[in-house]
Structure 1
Amino acid sequence: MLEIRELTRRFGENTAVDHVSFEVPPGLMTGFVGGNGAGKTTTMRMVMGVLGIDEGEVLWQGRPITRLDRRTFGYMPEERGLYPKQPILDQLVYVAQLKGMERTEARSAVQELLERFGLGERTKDHLEKLSLGNQQRVQIIASVLPKPAALILDEPFSGLDPLAVDSMVDLLREYTRDGVPVLFSSHQLDLVERLCDRLVVLSQGRRVAAGTVSELRDAGVPRFRLVLGGDAGWVRDLGGLDVLDLDGSSVLVEVAEDGAEQHLIAEATSRGAVHEFVRVRPALSEIYREATA
Structure 2
Amino acid sequence: MYRFLLTPRWWGINVFVLLAIPFCVYMGSWQLSRFEARVDDQRTAEAQADSARTEAPRPLAEMLPVDKATSGKRVTASGRYGEQLLVPDRELDGRRGFYVLTLLRTDGGRTLPVVRGWLPGTADAAKAPAPPAGEVGVTGALQASETPGDNGVSAQGGLPRGQTGAISTASLVNLVDDDLYDAWVTLDTADSGMTAVPASAPSGTGLDLKAFQNLGYTGEWFVFAGFVVFMWFRLLRREIEFQRDAELGIVEPDTLASPASASPASASPAASASADQDTDVEASTPVR
Return the TM-score normalized by structure 1.
0.24
Determine which structure has more spread, i.e. the larger CA radius of gyration. 2
What is the TM-score when the length of structure 2 is the normalising length? 0.24
Q: Which has the higher helix share?
A: 2
Higher strand fraction (1 or 2)? 1
